[in-house]
Structure 1
Amino acid sequence: MHWCVMLLCQYPDIQKKVGEEVDRIVGRDRLPSLDDREKLPYTTATLYEVMRFGSILPMSVPHATSKDVEIGGYDIPGDTWVLVNLYSMHYDGKLWDEPQKFKPEHFLDETGKVRLHPEGFLPFSTGRRVCLGESLAKAELFLLFTWLFQHYRFSKAAGLEGEDYSESISIAFTCLPRDHKVMVEKRF
């Protein structure tokens, strides 16, 4: 959620579109539900883009080869530990148009619906080591994200308008957004 707030402070036009879509579909008189996900494609795509852009774990948990394999011309012996560089997948120019840009459109098809994720989108890793809480995390993130932007507007604090709120800081094996002061206003 830290990434959500920081990125939507950095991109107020995207925040405005999320708010408008939530107002149109959910309104302000009820809580968002998981049934709203399909009806909120821009909101859902924005949340996926937050997960792509703000890769919290840039490297997957260790996997091991079960036998000798060749990948990309490299021989990898069986029982070798392998780490997937999720960060480089999420920023691969072969998979993403303008990968350095925060664009919810990365997850929308030409009709404006959420498209199938490319194979290079793995915020929860993959295989037997995939995050067990992936479906719960996606559901909770959607509900909280939608509720927050249903009721509040976030912006850069006065005097910090020129700051880049999309910068990250690496700590051990994680990438987190830098701390910034944020103005929070109730949406009426």
Structure 2
Amino acid sequence: MTILDEFRQAEQRLIARVRELEPLAREYAELVDELRGRGIDVGVGASTSIPPAPFADATPVGVAPAPAPSVAPVDDPATQPPSPIGRPGKSAKAAPKRKASRAKTAKSTRPSKRGARAEQILALVRDRPGLTVKELAEELEVEVSSLYQPVRKLVSSGALRKDGLELHVGEG
């Protein structure tokens, strides 16, 4: 095998990998856009500028095309009809049903004002040092994912500190 043959094989592997990763990169961009649309900070380095695949139809000269990767294609939101809730890719069936009233129930632990969730978290960690985010979610009867951002902010401000998965009251 010549160096040129090795180079062509390496090139072919790279092209196949780009084809394989492209749908995942597009899905990532869609998820980041969705989070930003909901006002959630996705952090540094999260970019949604995914360029089109430069090698989508490339085949090196003298090399047979690689078989298509076994990754299901991601639907292009631009080709989908607009949804009733204004988000690409969502059908009318997927639209959440909301109650006419948003009144709190007696068991609701949803904060009534900004910062109340952080106060609830701090109070629980003060009472029971070493709680995990999962245990906090169970205690507050909320989804674990709804606590990641307030916990991250409390840790970065110094109000909480993490020791592995355990949370403790910080110095701030």
TM-score (norm 1): 0.20
The structure where strand makes up a greater share of residues is: 1
Tell which structure's C-alpha radius of gyration is larger: 2
Give the number of the structure with larger relative contact order, counting CA–CA contacts within 8 Å between residues 6 or more apart.
Answer: 1
The structure where helix makes up a greater share of residues is: 2
